[in-house]
Structure 1
């Protein structure tokens, strides 16, 4: 008697992922014209990022497809916001471009190195051996703080283009939030570059060992 095959595309966390994509598209459409709708959809999409992980564990529906879908939604959401910011702050376009390149390329190579490592038995460089990276990966409050701070930087910079907000210490609220979250954004960018560096080393280890095996 055959068992019915599971349809991972209809798993609860993946359905949440589709909702995130829809919200991201709505946010992208309204970014140039309506900051209230754009920001609301962007924030809700980001918050759902936490719920799909809980749903995956609750229903035991963790999948590689869901993990990749989650990563792509995050990267594309930040990319779309940086494109909008490049139009609002053309003087800093290069920095926004650089941010997008670092974010996407570092996550891409790290994801692929992780996949390749799973297919081999070689000794790789483990970032968890570094105390800073170990806390980054094992402490949910620290990880949340870093991700939240990074998103806060871009979101507050976006809102500062449209509204000042309450005046605090001589600065508008959103400008102040942008200034406060800048160090977090810089540190997270540095961590992304570290991801890229370690992933490159691990891929080179795979290349060297594969070349040895062919000889």
Structure 2
């Protein structure tokens, strides 16, 4: 009897991923006017990013589609928030544009390079490769700190547009969070650039190998 084909879209982590997408869309809709509700939806979507990973491992349901969905939701969520921030702080629009471009293009290029190499996850990097990338993807504490700090920076910028918060060290709480987490966001952007560089080198290596193989095949044909 033929095997019954699994429905990848109904895997638990992917259902969680769809919920993340819906929450992100709701947060986008309410971002310009309803801070609290938008933050609840956005933060919940971000926190579920960790839950779907645990679910994938627990149910043995890790898939390429799930990895793609996870990455795209992360990038789209951050991009949507940055677009709103650009309207709140037009003086800094250029920096939001640059940050968004780096985040989307470098992560897409890296994920694509992983896919064409046939790896199952964007986290299964070559352990003999770049030491920064190795630390970033193999040390869970470092990865969580960088991602949380990056989200805290942009979320604090968003909330402080509406609320000052309690005064801490002479300044509003949300402004303080933004100031403290800003270096993390800058380093995170630099790591994203490194993603793009590593991916470019990997894809170029594949191109060289394919061209060499094609040239060898042509020589044999002649």
How far apart are residue 205 of structure 1 and its match? 1.1
How far apart are residue 129 of structure 1 and its match? 3.5
Q: Over residues 160-181 of structure 1, what are the superposed CA-to-partner deviations in whole Å (9 max), with x where a residue is unaligned?
A: 1000000001110000000000
- Please name the residue that 1:45 is paired with: 45
Separation in structure 1 between the aligned mates of residue 58 and residue 27 of structure 2, nearest angstrom: 29
Structure 2 alignment gaps of length 5 or more: 120-124, 216-222
Instruction: Count matched residues.
Output: 210
4+ residue segments displaced more than 6 Å: none
- Please name the residue that 2:117 is paired with: 117
Inter-CA distance 100–128: structure 2 relative to 1 (3 Å threshold) = farther
Note if 1:171 corresponds to 2:184: no
How far apart are residue 208 of structure 1 and its match? 1.5
Separation in structure 1 between the aligned mates of residue 4 and residue 201 of structure 2, nearest angstrom: 43
How far apart are residue 126 of structure 1 and its match? 4.5
The more displaced of 165-174 and 202-211 is 202-211
TM-score, scaled relative to structure 2 = 0.91
Equivalent residue runs for 1:93-112 within 5 Å: 93-112=93-112
- Please name the residue that 2:35 is paired with: 35
How far apart are residue 214 of structure 1 and its match? 1.6
- Please name the residue that 2:76 is paired with: 76
Separation in structure 2 between the aligned mates of residue 133 and residue 109 of structure 1, nearest angstrom: 15
How far apart are residue 5 of structure 1 and its match? 1.6
How far apart are residue 4 of structure 1 and its match? 2.1
Give the secondary-structure state (helix, strand or coil) at the position aligned to 2:178: helix
- Please name the residue that 2:54 is paired with: 54
Q: Over residues 77-100 of structure 1, what are the superposed CA-to-partner deviations in whole Å (9 max), with x where a residue is unaligned?
A: 000000000000000000000000
Note if 1:207 corresponds to 2:207: yes
TM-score, scaled relative to structure 1 = 0.94
- Please name the residue that 1:122 is paired with: none
Note if 1:144 corresponds to 2:139: no
Give the secondary-structure state (helix, strand or coil) at the position aligned to 2:2: coil
Structure 1 alignment gaps of length 5 or more: 120-124
How far apart are residue 131 of structure 1 and its match? 3.3
- Please name the residue that 1:191 is paired with: 191
Report if the CA contact (8 A) 1:30-1:38 is conserved: yes
Equivalent residue runs for 1:19-30 within 5 Å: 19-30=19-30
RMSD: 1.4
How far apart are residue 207 of structure 1 and its match? 1.3
Q: Over residues 119-158 of structure 1, what are the superposed CA-to-partner deviations in whole Å (9 max), with x where a residue is unaligned?
A: 8xxxxx9575443332211110110000000000000000
Inter-CA distance 33–26: structure 2 relative to 1 (3 Å threshold) = same
